[in-house]
Structure 1
């Protein structure tokens, strides 16, 4: 699938880092600063495993039902917030100091990085013993574990939280820019390959029609010289027919070049209306093959009606040209939703394409010898370019018995 950088609505922290990278970064930060650390999603659900959790929290408080419930509630409150700056607060469980920093990239809140489990002079022995009794933990063991918790002045803890906020967001922003640059480079490489292929196939495909025009013009000249009226008419017909094919190829190439490689803000259209418009333009050809159409109630999609009509029109033409002479052509169109995409599926009962050719038909000027698929060699590549320009993809399912099913994935955003 051709893929643009995820939109603000759907990209996540995992588009920038793997889970292993996040865990290693979190572990190193915890070891360097002496504070416990955990990264959560924006709803407070942990993404990473805890780093540097103290014995008091891990082995005593969280081992009791009430203590665990209080800790999870405190984590969810801190992890589920949004912080314009690093924010410190006492946990609502045993009263240790915690802090939260929001990770924001390109204006989207991706995650929260929580640190803490440090104490200062505000917690007292009486408070710790009282809380141990409340949750059903051993008072003496709870107090001993409390004294093992790192002691830190509040101003130092705030400084660590500020440092975390600055470093985490800068690291993520840098990763974001690198990812965008990498995808942009891949896109430019694809465009250069496309242009190179187009130049090569144009040079190759132009040779045959030009050669034929030259031969027919020589024969026409000879027929005129000899006064052979029948041959004159025949060779004029050949020249005109060849010129029509050459013009069609040139127009196909022009349409392909006129389609941008990326449309950042595509219009929306009703797919049902676009299909009906394409059918209207091809009604005479469809009637010639006694075509039967079965079209579901197609939804709105993120692509202009003009472009989607071109896509449907080219696919219908391919279905007509590859219909079986002993069967009426049947074309079915339906849609489904798949993980943020609307999928338009056009199925026919034509001759089909064997597996080895299914990807080749999307190459520029690629034509299959045993079928008429891609008569000019530009129709299906143009479809691919149109759909990829809005961030989607297109692929074919087919065999020699069930015809062709073209799957068009169009992003919902």
Structure 2
């Protein structure tokens, strides 16, 4: 993938992170009374825009990027795929240092007297809080999604090598592509079946968070990203779309996402199947972004490559981790207005403060932690930073020359 495409995906990360911050500020300023829930601004159109969930975009992008090497190996025989252990090690260096630090800091501040809610701490440190109905949004509320990331990593290192071995037995490239696409489709349909049984057959309410937020219900977003990787590897340079077609596809996908958010109400079909449908729409939007002719790039790509937005994308993980405890701290200390009319200035202030904190966090914690990936070489073996000096070859003595035997003079022939 070209550097430009990486910048465009980083721009998407920036937009998604900013959207997440504004959404959580929006939730903070909801008012609940006997007549129901009242949003900060009484506009269903604005509410649909702010409430458009972008978590599936993170899932689709993450799965796409991480599946690319497996797709190339399975379809085209590329042998540059890392081992499962090396893959997990690199993801751990990317995620765990900042996450563990944030969990320990926030949990300690909220549990000053030991032992505190030790179960909450244990579940967050083991990424199992997504299965706890009571504590799923404790400590670091948005990090329930990291539990799904971890589940996806384990799924990928399990099914990826299996897909590669199975594809090696197939003679044609078309058959290999069909097998990989079928596997991704099965992973996408399994959560839909789970949701259908839970909602329609068992009548589980949407507020049962582990049922509808667990990996068994949300793996579809990752499966869509895996399918995108398979599709783009299969197509290669073929069928790249022009600027107009890419723009039309992107606008259609964006309109679909907005309509899905607008019509989503608790327990209606759009709400029940929101995330599988959103994953497909994000799939289409990313396809329109990534599979475009290089010579005919749409103008809206320039926004995704804007320096300020890619800068936010660079620190998006830190922003995602820190923005909620920062918002609650500012709200509890009176730094944010308390009335609903203060939503807009509160959103601007939290975004600005969150980006500042995230930038510091990225360079102080996240980036140094990611350097730990250099402890392993490309083959997954521990890197030897202090190689032992190799013994220098000793000069060999020249072989002694043996005197040639004396020859007797041959008698003259008469």
Measured against the shorter chain, the TM-score band is under 0.3
Between Structure 1 and Structure 2, the one with more helix by share is 2
- Which is higher, the Rg of structure 1 or of structure 2? 1
TM-score by length of 1: 0.21
Say which structure is richer in strand.
1
